[in-house]
C-alpha cells in the first residue's frame, strides 16, 4: 500500500509527459489497492518514514493532514478535517500509535511518542509522551514513550 503511495507522491511532483503518464498508471494501481485494502490514503499526503498499517480496513486519512515518522495505524482509524471556526486538519508527531477505531478530528496536534486508545475521539491537542483514551480523549498516562516502543520494536 505505502509503496504505490510513495511512488505516486514522487511522480505527482515531477514535470514532463513521461512522468505524467507513469503517474496515471501508478494512480490507477493505488486506487485499486485502496479498494482492496479499505485504506483511503490520498497521494500527496505528508507522511514521514516508517508508516505501518497494523491491520487493514476502514482507514480514512485526510489528504491535507501531516503524519510524522514511525506512525502505526490500526483498523477503523479516521484522521479527518473539520470546517468552520474550529476547522483545520490534524498534525501527528513521530512515533505515534493510533489503535483500533481512533478518530482524530480537526486542527489538533498530537505530540511525539503518543498512544491513542481504542475508539478514542481526539478533539484537542495531546502532549508528547502521553497515552490518551476516551470520548473525548483525555491523557491518562505520561508514559507514552515506553509504551510506543513496544509497538515499534515488534
Reported as a single tens digit per residue, the pLDDT across 70-112 is: 999 999 999 999 887 768 999 999 999 999 999 999 999 999 9
Q: How many domains, the chain?
A: 2
> CATH no. for residue 73?
2.160.10.10
One domain, residues 73 and 95: yes
Which pTM value belongs to this model?
0.89
One domain, residues 74 and 3: no
Under 8 Å between Cβ of 53 and 32: no
Asked whether the predicted pLDDT for residue 67 surpasses 80, the reply is yes
One domain, residues 86 and 146: yes
One domain, residues 115 and 144: yes
Whole domain around residue 59: which residue ranges?
Answer: 45-152
One domain, residues 35 and 63: no
Asked whether the predicted pLDDT for residue 31 surpasses 70, the reply is yes
One domain, residues 31 and 52: no
Q: Which of 24, 43, 62 is the last residue of a domain?
A: 43
| Grid coordinates given for 110 | 498530537
Burial 77-109 (b: 16+ CB within 10 A, else e): bbbeebeeeeebbbbbbbbbbbbbbbbbbbebe
One domain, residues 128 and 100: yes
Reported as a single tens digit per residue, the pLDDT across 134-150 is: 999 999 999 888 888 88
One domain, residues 80 and 103: yes
Q: Which of 43, 59, 76 is the last residue of a domain?
A: 43
Query: Mean pLDDT score of the chain, rounded to an integer?
Result: 93
Least confident of 22-36, 81-95, 119-133: 81-95
One domain, residues 49 and 39: no
One domain, residues 32 and 83: no
One domain, residues 31 and 88: no
| Grid coordinates given for 30 | 493505488
One domain, residues 12 and 56: no
| Residue 56 exposed, middle or buried by CB count within 10 Å (0-12, 13-18, 19+) | middle
Amino acid at each position: 500500500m505505502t509503496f504505490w503511495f510513495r511512488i505516486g507522491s514522487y511522480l505527482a511532483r515531477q514535470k514532463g509527459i513521461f512522468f505524467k503518464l507513469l503517474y496515471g498508471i501508478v494512480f490507477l494501481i493505488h486506487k485499486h489497492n485502496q479498494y482492496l485494502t479499505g485504506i483511503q490514503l490520498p497521494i500527496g499526503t505528508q507522511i514521514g518514514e516508517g508508516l505501518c498499517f497494523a491491520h487493514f480496513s476502514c482507514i480514512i486519512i485526510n489528504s491535507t493532514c501531516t503524519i510524522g515518522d514511525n506512525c502505526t495505524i490500526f483498523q477503523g482509524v479516521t484522521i479527518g478535517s473539520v470546517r468552520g471556526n474550529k476547522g483545520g486538519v490534524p498534525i501527528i508527531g513521530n512515533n505515534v500509535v493510533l489503535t483500533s477505531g481512533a478518530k482524530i478530528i480537526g486542527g489538533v496536534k498530537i505530540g511525539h511518542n503518543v498512544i491513542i486508545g481504542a475508539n478514542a475521539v481526539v478533539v484537542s491537542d495531546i502532549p508528547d509522551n502521553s497515552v490518551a483514551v476516551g470520548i473525548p480523549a483525555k491523557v491518562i498516562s505520561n508514559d507514552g514513550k515506553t509504551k510506543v516502543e513496544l509497538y515499534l520494536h515488534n
